[in-house]
A and B are shown apart, each in its own frame.
Chain A
Amino acid sequence: MSLGPAEVAKIAHLARLAIREQDAPAYARNLSAILDLVAQMNAVDTTGVAPMAHPLDMAQRLRADEVTEPNQRAHFQTIAPQVEAGLYLVPKVIE
């Protein structure tokens, strides 16, 4: 499958990755090559085959409803890029 720079730009936006215009063609080529590799999956007919999401045939374990985590705000915020009054700061969120 062939992808061009325009498609790459769309995907990059979905993934919030800034791709320089000069790099877009190379990424487009790489992605197309990978998708060609992936297309080899079509060599086999998988109609009726149950998809396998996990190697384990297990059910989700349930946890008791208890508060077990203390307040560690100071600890976690030592590595934060920008905080004030205990809040994480980001450019204005427009709603």
Chain B
Amino acid sequence: MNSHLPAAMHDKTLTELSAGLAAGAFSSEELTRVFLARIEQFNPGLNAFITVTAEAALAQARAADARRQRGEAGPLTGVPIAHKDIFCTNGVRTSCGSRMLDRFIAPYDATVVEKLNAAGVVMLGKTNMDEFAMGSSNETSFYGPVRNPWDLDAVPGGSSGGSAAAVAARLVPGATGTDTGGSIRQPAALCGITGLKPTYGRVSRWGMIAYASSLDQGGPMARTAEDCALLLGAMAGFDLRDSTSVDRPVPDYVALLDRPLAGLKIGLPKEYFGEGLDSEVARVVEAAIAEYRKLGAETVEISLPNSQLAVPAYYVIAPAECSSNLARFDGVRYGHRCENPKDLLDLYTRSRAEGFGAEVTRRILVGTFALSAGYYDAYYLKAQQIRRLISDDFRRAFEQVDVIAGPTSPTVAFNLGEKVDDPITMYLSDIYTIAVNLAGLPGLSLPVGFVGQRPVGLQLIGHYFAEDRLLNVAHRYQQVTDWHRRAPAAFA
């Protein structure tokens, strides 16, 4: 063990580690070894990682150190991170949490991976997730559930549960996640960390295995808004390979963190504080809002009248798109193939049945049904119309306010196994996050307290491409509070 290393290296934020590397306080290789050791020690109990790439990580770390010697280092050079196992990583297994891709070695890098590599990060491994990003508890993974570091009987949230748990347990200072209905924000809230879903089109989807193409976005997960700002700066940007990528300059998110909040108008949707919200969670969220008033923000009650329609509409659109996106998994060119298929039909039906779990199967069936002859208008078209109504609600709200705030999740982390047999109850975990994906707006969750041992997250929703504003609003709060510095006892 390196005795000269500062105590509790793992407890430093990504930003602090970046500064430490820049100051020469430690090398990337030393840092990488610290986290690899923690992963080895703690991952079996958490199951946050599916694949750990120790040798490659050390090689990357050494290369980063060499770059630093040459004076070529940037703020992310040599910083260890993990990628949600939904991002294709060339030469490294990319499983999407599914048996279907258990042996799939991605033949190319996702843009997000390329960009972070170019920034010099050190990838420690691929994190666990709900299968094909479908879930809100990380219990549908082929590789088994992930546990919440704050309470090992609890779920970490999903689908980016592995990334959230890994960051919360200090196995890695930052990680990537993806969010289609809340899959970055909700696990961030349940694990007491900060996570951002950017505006649709801000981060390239090239190489990010598709679940629901018009809703998916990749984003950063770390302990602070400052950390997320650093990661997002590297992840975001126009990509020629993604037709839905937006050609818009990437602001210096870090530079924009410190703007004062005086005069900021925060909208509080009355629909987000009513029935369905746990009263204890409500209390913690109200306290956080009170803190914002102390920082100079003004709160305004607003209404998003079509909020109740978000979950129903989502459970048409996302399954519909996924039923089509997952049709490529047929055992022909890659992925799982059943043994001795007796004919083509057998090849397809058995490979897919063996490859996909129950939740994925459910969503493919729902999606197939919603698109099938005679039902398209009643389901898919109707859902897209509701999507328009929801977007319009937000548009109107943003005429009055700068950001919208509310609880990220109606409850704190629930217990493992508690909702697994009741899909509908599980789906309702996302009631506050889903509308944001339907509208394509950016959303962030930051830790604002606890109910018992289990963290509570506050969600901030911004206007299109207002990630800088969200990070700023979160950062100012984190400067006067310390929820984001709390560590789960077992991993402190």
Contacts and interface: CB of A to CB of B under 8 A. Distances in A.
Interface of A: 3, 8, 11-19, 27, 30-31, 33-35, 37-44, 46, 49-56, 58, 60-61, 63, 72, 75-76, 78-82, 88, 90-94
Nearest to A47: B385
A61 B245 CA distance: 10
A36 to B, nearest CB: 8
A15 B214 contact: no
A11 B369 contact: yes
B366 A41 contact: no
Nearest to B331: A81
Contacts of B308: 40, 43
Q: What are the 5 A-B residue pairs with the smallest beta carbon separation, nearest first?
A: A55-B440, A51-B384, A18-B349, A16-B348, A46-B385
Contacts of A54: 200, 214, 244, 440
Contacts of A75: 107
B258 interface: no
Contacts of B42: none
Given A16-B348, A53-B214, A81-B337, A46 B382 contact: yes
Interface stretch (B113-121, B164-172, B264-272, B357-365): B357-365
B243 to A, nearest CB: 6
Nearest to B427: A37
B312 A55 contact: no
B382 A55 contact: no
A52 B201 CA distance: 15
A11 B384 contact: no
Given A37-B315, A53-B214, A16 B385 contact: no
A37 B424 contact: yes
A91 B343 contact: yes
A55 B13 CA distance: 34
A80 to B, nearest CB: 6
Given A38-B315, A43-B308, A56-B201, A80 B356 contact: no
Interface string B385-412: 1111101000000000000000000000
Given A11-B369, A14-B368, A30 B362 contact: yes
- Assign chain B's interface to a size class: 35 or more
A16 B362 contact: no
A10 to B, nearest CB: 9
A76 B333 CA distance: 9
Contacts of B384: 51-53
B365 A39 contact: no
B348 A41 contact: no
B247 to A, nearest CB: 8
B209 to A, nearest CB: 14
B344 A91 contact: yes
A19 B364 CA distance: 12
Contacts of A42: 382
A15 B326 CA distance: 10
Contact of A49 (B103, B344, B366, B388): B388
Given A19-B353, A40-B309, A91-B346, A51 B381 contact: yes
B352 interface: yes
B243 A60 contact: yes
Most chain-B CB neighbours within 10 Å: which of A14, A16, A44?
A16
B350 interface: yes
Contacts of A63: 240
Contacts of A60: 243
Given A41-B382, A50-B388, A90-B347, A55 B362 contact: no
A76 B107 contact: yes
Interface string B228-243: 0000000000001001
A12 to B, nearest CB: 6
Contacts of B323: 15
A25 to B, nearest CB: 13
B246 A38 contact: no
B408 to A, nearest CB: 20
Most chain-A CB neighbours within 10 Å: which of B306, B312, B365?
B365
A31 B375 CA distance: 14
B321 to A, nearest CB: 10
Given A19-B361, A41-B309, A41-B382, A11 B368 contact: yes
Contacts of A55: 199-201, 214, 391, 439-441, 464
Nearest to B319: A34
A30 B311 CA distance: 16
A60 B245 CA distance: 10
B334 A44 contact: no
Given A17-B352, A46-B385, A51-B384, A41 B313 contact: yes
Given A16-B348, A38-B316, A56 B244 contact: yes
A43 B366 contact: no
A55 B387 CA distance: 9
A34 B439 CA distance: 22
B127 to A, nearest CB: 22
Nearest to B340: A91
Contacts of B311: 37, 40
Nearest to A46: B385
Contacts of A19: 353, 361
Given A37-B427, A55-B440, A44 B309 contact: yes
